[in-house]
Amino acid sequence: MNIIWHSKSKQFHLYNAKISYIICVTPVGDLGNIYFGKCIRDKEDMSYVVNRFGLSNVAVDADTESYSMELNRQEYPSFGTTDFGTQAFETEQSNGSRVNSFVYKDHRIFAGKTALTGLPATYADDKEAMTLEMQLEDEVAKMSLTLSYTIFEDHPVITRHAVFTNNGASKVMLTKALSACLDLPDQDYEWMQFSGAWARERIPVTRKITAGSVSIESKRGASSANQNPFIIIKRPNTDDHGGEAIGVSLVYSGNFIAQAECDTFGRTRILMGINPDRFSWPLEKGETFETPEAVIAYTAEGLNSLSQTYHELYNNNLVRGKWKNTPRPILINNWEATFMNFDEEKILKIAKKAKEAGVELFVLDDGWFGERDDDFAGLGDWIENPKKLPQGMAGLARKVNALGMKFGFWIEPEMVNPNSNLYRRHPDWALGTPGRKSSLGRHQLVLDFSREEVVDHIYGMLSKVLSDAPISYIKWDMNRSLTEVYNIDITPQEQGTVYHKYVMGVYRLYEKLRNDYPDILFESCSSGGNRFDAGMLYYAPQAWCSDNTDAIDRIRIQYGTSFGYPISSIGAHVSAVPNQQTGRNVSISTRANVAYFGTFGYELDLNHVSEEEFEEVKLQIEFMKENRELFQFGRFYRLRSPFDTDQCAWIVVSSDRRKAILGFYCLRANVNSLPGFLKLAGLSEEKLYVIEDKEYYGDELMNLGVTLKTLFEGGFALANDFISCVKVIEAKE
Ligand code: GLA
């Protein structure tokens, strides 16, 4: 890994063993892109890449009379001079002008990476990464711009973000400030996005990009289940096992936009950052604005390798604290077992049985506080309901601890029900626009987390419960989108800051609680997977993946999630059948076979399963305890897509390739068909592996494959819907 500055040609080359990223100072002084892709040899001068000739109807710079931004690849383009593509940023200056020309002034190259202020970001020590910070200035607008690029030693990754500063006496309005722009030299790409809704999150959608633009966005205040802030730009022939692709992941949990634009001169522009819609940020003299971070990864080896880059980077350089790379406790959650209808006795009965099965952590879900017997009341009153918890959270936690289990509970700190003491006391704390009614979502309103006093108050209530009781885990939920967004404490000109300040408020509360209780394992949740993003992983290393706990639907949801997020982050539980969302009956073995590829736990009352199933549950827990490190932190490969076939397969492989675990799932029976072969991946070609007493070479398993006869006794049992198997594959010596 290195960052070289060629002072004569004014070019920067950031590279490691896998990638090169080459930037130049252009003939007009701003920053242009020369190359991004597989590592290439360093060269003093690559300015031959820069186009300096006129084409009809193209605007050129007045001094050079030959350079047009439109005919070159930009690093952080503005609109208003010679580029007509979508701009990465926009300002409105005091004279009404929106034209900017930022010119390179200086730079700094250093080992490691600096933290962002109040925002989540990847981190690295001096050996793991190097950073290039370039300083640009717009002398007319009296603004400076810092563009930061970090390259990692062990990952084909560049992270980027931008910082704007107003150096002038008059106010400047920042109306768009994306995290990154990546101009690519051709247009032979497909775009992949991960779309969905509640209970069907992160479904991969692929389309060819062509003249014009394609974009996804969130305007819901959270990153959303509808569109995830992660995209892949790939060559049309790229699949999981080979080919070029670029991923862009935004380390942010609020409104975002991701866009690809193909212009008429063969350039593809990729943009990602805070959604400029409903965003405007006033900068007074000396004030700065820092964008969130975008994580750009490259592969020439297929989408599995791209996903593995994100898995490893996020496990090692985004997740922090005690739970970083630590196998997660097997938990039981009472939500689907009781909903809000419980008391201490009922909870202890569930906990006792779970303990007998080997479960390690009990999670008390919604309904323990205020007057919360249904979802019409109580949110905001973070005080135990004595009818349900006569000795408070502390009493119950101690009783669960006495059984030999850890204890945790559910919160939804950003919300308030109109029927709550908090709302009756502080109706003005809920987001709302003066003179208009406030829309409801799940009978609740959103607290204005852009206001410090609101966040501080909620912190006070929560820290009271937390400091009284031995708490090991928190599930932090967020169950509605933001509407009528308005902060009554600030000026009309500042209203464009509220969405972002809200997210910063959420991050602030997370950070405070994490600092006070560093051992607590946080799981984020937002009606399931409505805020499953890289920003959240900085605070909560795992996220409840979906409220849809049906194993067959979960195969698709977890498969889609695996493109951008580590298996250790995917909250996955075995729930009761018939499933509450789909009504499907799936065996307890298939339900566990899906949940193993996640954080693993149970979301049911084990008192209500048959004796036979209970014995199976005990074995499942034993198996997960033995293998959870491999499941959660092994190298994960997708093998067969549940979107292209009626089957799904994936495998996790240990770093020394001596052990792997294969998951195979039949979503729908294929009558009268041969079982066929499944090619494995990630094994060592030379090693001899054992799968259930039979021996196979690695090259055999990866090129010929295993026949499904080997996986299922009786071979043609694939005539059954919803059957599955999980097989341990171990090297012989
Ligand atoms: C959301 C979560 C669920 C559960 C309920 C409780 O829907 O996703 O897991 O916690 O809230 O109200």
Let me know if residue 578 belongs to a domain. no
Phi, psi of 163 (to 5 degrees): -130, 130
3-state class (DSSP) for residue 546: coil
Whether residue 282 sits in one domain with residue 360: no
Domain CATH for 671: 2.60.40.1180
Going by alpha carbons, the residue nearest to atom 1 of ligand 1 is 527
> Average per-residue pLDDT in the chain?
97
Per-residue model confidence (pLDDT) at position 674:
81
The SS3 call for residue 431 is coil
Is residue 36 a part of any domain in this protein? yes
Residue showing tokens 């070019």: 11
Q: CB count, 10 Å around CB of 671?
A: 7
Q: What is the 3-state secondary structure (H, E, C) of 569-624?
A: HEECCEECCCCCCCCCCCCHHHHHHHHCCCCCEEECCHHHCCHHHHHHHHHHHHHH
C-alpha span between 210 and 240 (Å, rounded): 23
| Rounded Cα distance, 39 and 60, in Å | 32
Q: Hey, what are 697's tokens?
A: 């070479």
**Domain shared by 349 and 408, yes or no:** yes
What letter does residue 119 receive in the DSSP assignment?
S
Structure tokens at 401: 């601890």
Tell me, yes or no, whether 326 and 310 share the same domain.
Answer: no
In whole angstroms, give the CA distance from residue 392 to residue 368: 9
Given the structure tokens 């717009």, which residue do they identify? 138
Cβ atoms of residues 473 and 363 within 8 Å: yes
pTM for the complete prediction? 0.98
Tokens 């996005």 — which residue?
Answer: 193
Q: Are residues 294 and 437 in the same domain?
A: no
Whether residues 308 and 340 share a domain: the answer is no
In a domain, 572, yes or no: no
Q: What is the DSSP letter of 37?
A: E
The predicted structure's pLDDT at residue 715: 55
Name the nearest CA neighbour of 727 among 663, 637, 639, 658.
Answer: 663
Q: What is the pLDDT of residue 150?
A: 99
- Out of 477, 580, 602, mutate this one to test ligand 1's pocket (max ligand atoms within 8 Å of CB): namely 477
R_g (Cα) of the chain, nearest Å: 27
CATH number at residue 379: 3.20.20.70
Contact 231, 303 (CB under 8 A): no
Cα-Cα-Cα-Cα dihedral of 315, 319, 322, 326, to 10°?
A: -20
In terms of domains, do 273 and 387 share one?
Answer: no
Show the ligand 1 pocket: residues with CB < 6 angstroms. Answer: 335, 365-366, 410, 477, 479, 525, 527-528, 544, 547
Name which of 728, 733, 449, 722 is nearest 586 in CA terms: 722
| Residue indicated by tokens 């600092």 | 515
- Looking at ligand 1, which residue's alpha carbon is closest to its atom 12? 366
- Whether residue 352 sits in one domain with residue 248: no
Do 266 and 409 lie in one domain? The reply is no
Catalytic residues, which ones?
Answer: 477, 547
- Choose the final residue of a domain: 270, 302, 318: 318
**Domain match, 233 and 185 both:** yes
Query: Closest ligand 1 atom, CA of 526?
Result: 8
217 CA from centroid of ligand 1 (Å): 24
- Report the nearest atom of ligand 1 relative to the CA of 410: 10
Domain final position from 318, 339, 354 = 318
Same domain, 314 and 329: no
> Residue 296's domain spans which residues?
2-318
Of 342, 394, 373, 381, whose CA–CA distance to 462 is shortest?
A: 381
One domain, residues 62 and 123: yes
The count of other CB atoms within 10 Å of the CB of residue 8 is 7
With CA atoms as reference, report the closest residue to 350 among 412, 394, 405, 395: 405
In angstroms, the CA 40 to CA 22 distance is 10
Determine the pLDDT at residue 718.
59
Strand, coil or helix: 341? coil
The CATH number of whichever domain residue 46 belongs to comes to 2.70.98.60
Tokens of 78: 């503005």
- Phi, psi of 495, deg, nearest 5: -65, -25
Comparing CA positions, the residue from 484, 416, 411 lying closest to residue 446 is 416
Other residues' Cβ atoms within 10 Å of the Cβ of residue 322 = 11
396 Cα–ligand 1 center, Å: 21
Query: Separation of 721 CA from ligand 1 center, angstroms?
Result: 29
Does residue 590 contact residue 335 with C-beta atoms inside 8 Å?
Answer: no
* 435 Cα to the center of ligand 1, angstroms: 32
Nearest CA to ligand 1 atom 11: 527
For the chain, percent of residues with pLDDT exceeding 90: 95
- Burial status of residue 84 (CB atoms within 10 A of its CB: 0-12, 13-18, 19 or more): middle
The answer to the question of residue 576 being in a domain is no
* CA distance readout (Å), 64 to 26, 78, 684: 11, 19, 56
**Count, residues in the chain:** 733
User: Do the Cβ atoms of 255 and 217 come closer than 8 Å?
Assistant: yes
Query: What is the distance in angstroms between the CA of the first residue and the CA of the last residue of the chain?
Result: 35
- pLDDT for 18-30, tens place per residue? 999 999 999 999 9
For the chain (733 residues), the mean pLDDT of every run of 10, in chain order, is 98 98 97 98 97 89 93 97 97 98 98 98 98 98 98 98 98 98 98 98 98 98 98 98 98 98 97 98 98 99 98 98 98 97 97 98 98 98 97 97 98 98 98 97 98 98 95 98 97 98 98 98 98 98 98 98 98 97 97 98 98 98 98 98 96 98 93 87 98 95 91 65 95 90
* Residues 12 and 62 grouped into a single domain: yes
Interacting residues of 40 by C-beta distance below 8 A, sequence separation 6+:
15, 20
> Domain ends where: 572, 607, 628?
628
Helix-, strand-, coil-residue percentages of the chain, each rounded to 5: 25, 30, 45
Asked if residue 250 is part of any domain, the answer here is yes
Dihedral over Cα of 68, 70, 72, 73: its sign? positive
The pLDDT score that the predictor gives to residue 717 is 54
Residue 288 domain flag: yes
Cα-Cα-Cα-Cα torsion 200, 201, 202, 205, nearest 10 degrees, comes to 40
Whether residue 556 lies inside any domain: the answer is no
**Distance from Cα 72 to the centre of ligand 1, integer Å:** 49
Residue 70: predicted pLDDT:
96
Out of 201, 335, 336, mutate this one to test ligand 1's pocket (max ligand atoms within 8 Å of CB): namely: 335
**What are the tokens at 600?**
């693993």
Choice from 366, 415, 532 to test ligand 1 binding pocket (greatest atom count within 8 A of CB): 366
Residue by residue, DSSP assigns 365-400 as: -S-SBTT-SSTTB-TT--SB-TTT-TTHHHHHHHHH
Number of domains in the chain: 3
508 in a structural domain: yes
What pLDDT score does 39 carry? 98
In contact, 302 and 239? CB cutoff 8 Å: yes
Residues 492 and 282: their CA atoms lie apart, in Å, by 11
